[in-house]
Structure 1
Amino acid sequence: MSYEMIAILMFSTMMLMLMTGQRVFGAIGFVGVLAAVLLWGTGGSDIGFSAAMKLMKWYPLLTLPMFIFMGYVLSESKIADDLYKMFHVWMGPVRGGLAIGTILLMVLVSAMNGLSVAGMAIGATIALPELLKRGYDKRMVTGVIQAGSSLGILVPPSVVLVLYAMIARQPVGQLWLAGVFPGLMMAAMFILYVVIRCRIQPELGPVLPEADRNITRAEKMRLLRAGLLPIVIFATMMIPFVNGWTSLVESSAIGAITAFVAAVLKGRMNRTVFENSVRSTLGISCMFMWIILAALGFGAVFDGLGAVKAIDSLFTDQLGLDPWMILILMQLSFIIMGTFLDDTAMLVIVAPLYVPLVQVLGFDLIWYGVLYTITTQIAYMTPPFGYNLFLMRAMAPKEITLKDIYRSIVPFVGVMFVALALVMIFPQIALWLPNYVYGK
């Protein structure tokens, strides 16, 4: 059997196992180690061990539990709730202001947590009931929350980009900085859409009633100070890192400690909050570590077979496709997979194939990490089985149907496609900041 056929058999076996409902890390790791043993005998069993050693020696991985812990402390202690109260008061007088404030809330929650699930939970449980109560159009605000929460995997400190960095062997710091401008650009495009839509159809986002806006200036300033606390925590963590005063791991520790101290000083840190934060951090950190471990083992075998060179030869020599056409096809495959897989599963499944292929085609891997993340955001919201669609269905009130949820994301997916095209056409949107900070 040729190496190309072995590679195809590995990939198809892995996909079959995933379709039967097996855990992602179990299916990928099992296929990788089994293929290694069948190809190279008992020595092939060392593939899994060497992947584990490589994982344990990867120092930046320490950022993963730190940032996750920081996000859960801010969420569980309700410090993140203060953000929405601030936006509620300050943005209420603007037509569509609460929807705009919700998008800004999603950006800041993303910057605190790095996971889209956290933004979705806060948006659906805090913002959505208030928006519906204030007479906002249910389809527009449902789309706002889904689109805004997807920024969690792009805006730093993105946990997904940490995973990509490990698999692609790229610096986490550069990937995070590369996600800053595309993430802010996408948030600005969402806001622009809401502003234009509410100007054309004012009934979709009515101004907050006078009674709700009749708040003293002192109370407004108090809410502003409370709402700015998460921003101060984020700045305390990121400014030293961007200026080169601390390493990435040190900055993540500063963020986790600052969030914990802030919760203590506000009197919101108790045994329940601490225990929930630690348990959630442990569960998610272990999940990501198992996935990375499996991906490294599978990738070592897959790459050792020369599968990447064979696929590159198929696309460029036999089919005559140019590198950009191949790249577009790869992005389309992510969108298709996103209808039934989450972001980590997608990356782990195709990383052994796509990441080396991108490098062979001559594209920048930092830039491609941003493209992958934006495409994953689109896949999250693509029917019929987009990840965010079902999260929203689980959290939304009964009056919002699945049909409403599907229709709500159409304009926002369109905005995301425009953002993806802009980053592809103008790579410096993603690359300028990391190149500037790291002096390239």
Structure 2
Amino acid sequence: MIEYLPIILFATIFVLILFGFPVAFTLGGLSVLVGIVVFDVDFFYLLALRVYGTMQNFVLLAVPLFVFMGIMLEKSGIAERLLETMALLFGRFRGGLAISVVIVGAMLAASTGIVGATVVTMGLISLPTMLKRGYGPRLSTGVIASSGTLGQIIPPSVVLVLLGSVLNVPVGDLFLAAVIPGVGLVVCYVLYIVIYAQVFPGRAPAMPKAEVSAFRERGFSGELVKSFVFPFLLILAVLGSIFAGIASPTEAAGVGAFGAILLTLSQRKLTMPVLKEVMRETTLLTSMVFMILVGATAFSLVFRGLEGDKLFLGLIERADMSPYAFLFLVMVLVFVAGFFIDFIEIVFIIVPVVAPLFVAMGIDLIWIGILLAVNLQTSFLTPPFGFALFYLKGVAPPEVKTSHLYQGIIPFVLIQIAFLILLVIFPEMTSMLL
């Protein structure tokens, strides 16, 4: 019985979280109780050392800085200008408005990385416009929700920072490895929209030529430069400094946070109430992440103390499971878990358990990190707890039903699954820039 205690602990925590118990306190509380029973009071000394080691992790400082950058950019109004400009740039094509949403979603992902902020912003600005232009509610909601989740895979991404910490791999390498998969996913979305617009032209019409011409006559080139230059400079400052080896991800996150303040100031949106709101939201999000991290540290310590990793490895060896079969099992587990729990919870509960097993099998953890990031992206879209769907439903017009959202995201979830399989077949896609 005692040898199967790690599995019982893992299953109990998972079930309690499904029943709605707070993740951080379920993870930490149950793990501490088991630790005291099994290891006596000495367990607390070990736990204190592990938590202190986590607090000293310099890389994790990037989390609040990237969160601050994303929320500040949401307040700057740059997203609105980008969407308006891109809509008229691609408006003369069938499906052009949807294509513009995908491209702006990718740019916001590369400059914010905050899924909730991106989905809400694009939902408020784009969804009414798309419906007014004759776009179907399913395509409109599917495009906005899926484009908003690109912040999960396109760097700088908070999930990549957390995965780098859990997998113990350089975050800068994860960022580099994610560039081609991120761009590839954007291309897949655009191709789907182009094909959809050809098959169902009435559901993805072009904008009236007169409206596009009128906009171009108002100084289109100048507006294009204003809309793109500032976000591009911020992306260049953050990612360029990391990829060039000038700054660590944490230092680059600091540059990004400062750059976001300057951009908001340039748009004349930086006021004391805005600054207070940004700091409050950043504190709330960061506190949630780090409370879960402390709980996950306790769980990881107890799980490994009970030799849970050796137990799982033994079970896999006895099952004569190949590395690819184990990878398939983990990816299915993460995908199904994404229906019920948040990506942060998956990163801190499932990933620490399977990471040592991937190491024992000699599998590249950078590649695993990217596969997990793409897989976790679907957790924002899959019902019943797809957070992108909640965000979008909260700002959608009354005529947009929940059924429209669920039906709209199906093609994009299938695209993500197909793209995940492509990354498994062609792992070099993640190593081209390394």
1:317-359 superposed Cα distances (whole Å, 9 cap, x missing partner):
2x22211111101111111111111111122221231111222
SS at match of 1:432: coil
Task: Write the distance in 2 (CA, Å) between the matches of 1:426 and 1:206.
Answer: 36
1:32-72 superposed Cα distances (whole Å, 9 cap, x missing partner):
22222111111101243123211221111121111111111
Task: Write the distance in 2 (CA, Å) between the matches of 1:151 and 1:249.
Answer: 21
Q: What residue in structure 2 maps to residue 348 of structure 1?
A: 348
SS at match of 1:409: helix
Task: Write the distance in 2 (CA, Å) between the matches of 1:133 and 1:237.
Answer: 37
Task: Tell me the amino acid that sits aligned with residue 262 of structure 1.
Answer: L
Q: What residue ranges of structure 1 are gaps of 5+ in the alignment?
A: 436-440
Task: Write the distance in 1 (CA, Å) between the matches of 2:362 and 2:11.
Answer: 27
Deviation at 1:211, TM superposition (A): 3.3
Deviation at 1:187, TM superposition (A): 0.8
Task: Tell me the amino acid that sits aligned with residue 326 of structure 2.
Answer: I
Task: Write the distance in 2 (CA, Å) between the matches of 1:270 and 1:209.
Answer: 38
8 Å CA contact 1:156, 1:179 repeated in 2: yes
How many pairs align? 432
1:194-215 superposed Cα distances (whole Å, 9 cap, x missing partner):
0111122211211111332112
Task: Write the distance in 2 (CA, Å) between the matches of 1:127 and 1:49.
Answer: 48
Q: What residue in structure 1 maps to residue 249 of structure 2?
A: 248
Deviates further, 11-20 or 40-49: 11-20
Task: Write the distance in 2 (CA, Å) between the matches of 1:391 and 1:151.
Answer: 15
Deviation at 1:284, TM superposition (A): 1.0
Q: What residue in structure 2 maps to residue 398 of structure 1?
A: 398
Q: What residue in structure 2 maps to residue 359 of structure 1?
A: 359
What percent identity do the matched residue pairs reach?
31
Q: What residue in structure 1 maps to residue 61 of structure 2?
A: 62
Q: What residue in structure 1 maps to residue 421 of structure 2?
A: 421
The 1:22/1:405 distance shift into structure 2, 3 A limit, reads: same
Task: Write the distance in 2 (CA, Å) between the matches of 1:144 and 1:33.
Answer: 43
Task: Write the distance in 1 (CA, Å) between the matches of 2:394 and 2:122.
Answer: 13
Task: Tell me the amino acid that sits aligned with residue 73 of structure 2.
Answer: L
1:116-140 superposed Cα distances (whole Å, 9 cap, x missing partner):
2122111211111111111111111
Q: What residue in structure 2 maps to residue 262 of structure 1?
A: 263
Task: Write the distance in 1 (CA, Å) between the matches of 2:84 and 2:398.
Answer: 24
Q: What residue in structure 2 maps to residue 315 of structure 1?
A: 316
Deviation at 1:237, TM superposition (A): 2.0
Q: What residue in structure 2 maps to residue 386 of structure 1?
A: 386
Q: What residue in structure 2 maps to residue 338 of structure 1?
A: 338
Matches within 5 A, 1:22-421: 22-213=21-212, 214-228=214-228, 229-317=230-318, 319-421=319-421
8 Å CA contact 1:263, 1:269 repeated in 2: yes
8 Å CA contact 1:73, 1:259 repeated in 2: yes
Task: Write the distance in 1 (CA, Å) between the matches of 2:383 and 2:219.
Answer: 43
Task: Write the distance in 2 (CA, Å) between the matches of 1:260 and 1:136.
Answer: 35
Task: Tell me the amino acid that sits aligned with residue 9 of structure 1.
Answer: I
Task: Write the distance in 2 (CA, Å) between the matches of 1:5 and 1:217.
Answer: 72
Deviates further, 330-339 or 225-234: 225-234
Task: Tell me the amino acid that sits aligned with residue 296 of structure 2.
Answer: A
Task: Tell me the amino acid that sits aligned with residue 425 of structure 2.
Answer: I
Deviation at 1:260, TM superposition (A): 0.8
Q: What residue ranges of structure 2 are gaps of 5+ in the alignment?
A: none
SS at match of 1:236: helix
8 Å CA contact 1:153, 1:160 repeated in 2: yes
SS at match of 1:207: coil
8 Å CA contact 1:163, 1:288 repeated in 2: no
8 Å CA contact 1:120, 1:146 repeated in 2: yes
SS at match of 2:40: helix
Deviation at 1:217, TM superposition (A): 4.2
Task: Tell me the amino acid that sits aligned with residue 349 of structure 1.
Answer: I
8 Å CA contact 1:335, 1:382 repeated in 2: no
SS at match of 2:101: helix
